[in-house]
Structure 1
Amino acid sequence: MSQTVPWTDGSWTNEPVEVRRDADGLHVTAREGSDAWRLTSYGFIHSSEHALLTTLEPESALEVQFHLDFTDQFDQAGIFVKVDAESWIKAGVELSDGEESLGAVVTRGQSDWSLSPVPSWAGRLVTVRGSWSGNALTVRARVDDEPWRLVRVAPLETAAAVSAGPFCCAPTRAGLTVHFTSWRTTPPDTRLHPDA
């Protein structure tokens, strides 16, 4: 059964510039230079993301929905799933080299990054879903009411507490405000692939 998570239930990993709640959802203004990354290729460690996190239970899923309205390099939003400072996953949409792209960063000591262009998603309502079942987090996303797309299957096998929720970052500019419209928990996906 789907259950709405109140915006007041989460705690920020890093406080945004501004957070405003209204009848339409949560409006989050990111700090310039905010990002989440560890070492790979660039050599730096950034842990200044704005992630609103609450407990994610095993055998459950979370869904975050937001309006996709990005203008600058690396503007990004989606879901953030955290085990600790060196083990986390962020997944959603990012503006990379002038194009909206759906992707994920999976970090286990060092980060990796995968992207797939979705330019037709600009200006529309995006939902990102992370489903934790067994030893994996399965990430799916969709725009409006279109079918779900598989984004990533990542290892998530831990006895430690896991927290998750919406996130945004603005690595290259000030003034990014992301409008999140919903945050829900649901049962996990029952299978990785649809029936043939």
Structure 2
Amino acid sequence: MTQREVPWEQGKWTVDPEAVRSEGDRLVVTPARGSDLWRHTSYGFVHDDAPALLGDLPDGRAVEVDFVLGGSEQFDQAGVLLRADAEHWIKAGVEFSDGRLMAGAVVTAGVSDWSTGPVDDWAGRQITVRASRSGAAVTVRARCGDEPWQLLRLAPIDPQLPWRAGPFCASPTRAGLRVEFAAWRLGPADDSLH
């Protein structure tokens, strides 16, 4: 599978992070306290202020992001964001929830849903999240290091919308979260689900 590295400077921030700096080839991002992505479901609020560095994601392409989540407080999160507009987006990656590291995804089409599963042994390690766009669907996988890929989600999307994708992070409950993004790649969409 041929992938190409996306230079950090080619992306455009949805919201400026509180702090961002380069450390060698890596991009270190600190999101603002209270930043998040969510629309309505169960909680009743809308948050659309998590920093994401996005570039175009045409049909038949996949985005892949490597990162280390440098936090372990409630709802610290990082991964990949696919976004068409404020009401159509998918965030996928890892998030601390109730004392555990969870891998999961939120799919939003007007309102948000949420699915998670524990990945406690991934804490403090480099994680890769891959979102593969094919027609009206996105397949999201994640892994830690060189471990096997885990399917996180197969989700519908509107293929007529202009999708963009790239790394994101958020810190809904505290200040000072540090997320180290190691790589951002684009390549062909996956051939199969499994």
Query: Common fold, TM-score beyond 0.5?
Result: yes
Maintained 8 Å contact 1:37/1:111: yes
Shift of 1:71: 1.8
Give the structure-1-normalised TM-score: 0.97
Shift of 1:22: 2.5
Would you say 1:155 and 2:153 are equivalent positions? Answer: no
Matches within 5 A, 1:51-70: 51-70=52-71
Maintained 8 Å contact 1:19/1:28: yes
Percent same amino acid at aligned positions?
A: 55
Would you say 1:146 and 2:110 are equivalent positions? Answer: no
Structure 2 residue identity aligned to 1:131? S
Unaligned stretches of 5+ in structure 1? none
**Corresponding residue SS for 1:175:** coil
| CA distances 1:13-51 after superposition (whole Å, capped 9, x unpaired) | 110111101314100011000000000000000001111
CA RMSD of aligned residues (A): 0.8
Instruction: Give, in whole Å, the separation in 2 of the partners of 1:103 and 1:171.
Output: 16
| CA distances 1:122-179 after superposition (whole Å, capped 9, x unpaired) | 1111000000012100000000000000000001232221110000000000000100
> 1:47 maps to what in 2?
48
> 2:99 maps to what in 1?
98
Maintained 8 Å contact 1:68/1:121: no
**Corresponding residue SS for 1:50:** coil
Would you say 1:171 and 2:172 are equivalent positions? Answer: yes
Unaligned stretches of 5+ in structure 2? none
Would you say 1:37 and 2:38 are equivalent positions? Answer: yes
**Structure 1 stretches of 4+ moved >4 Å:** none
Aligned positions, number: 193
| CA distances 1:34-72 after superposition (whole Å, capped 9, x unpaired) | 000000000000001111111111100000000133221
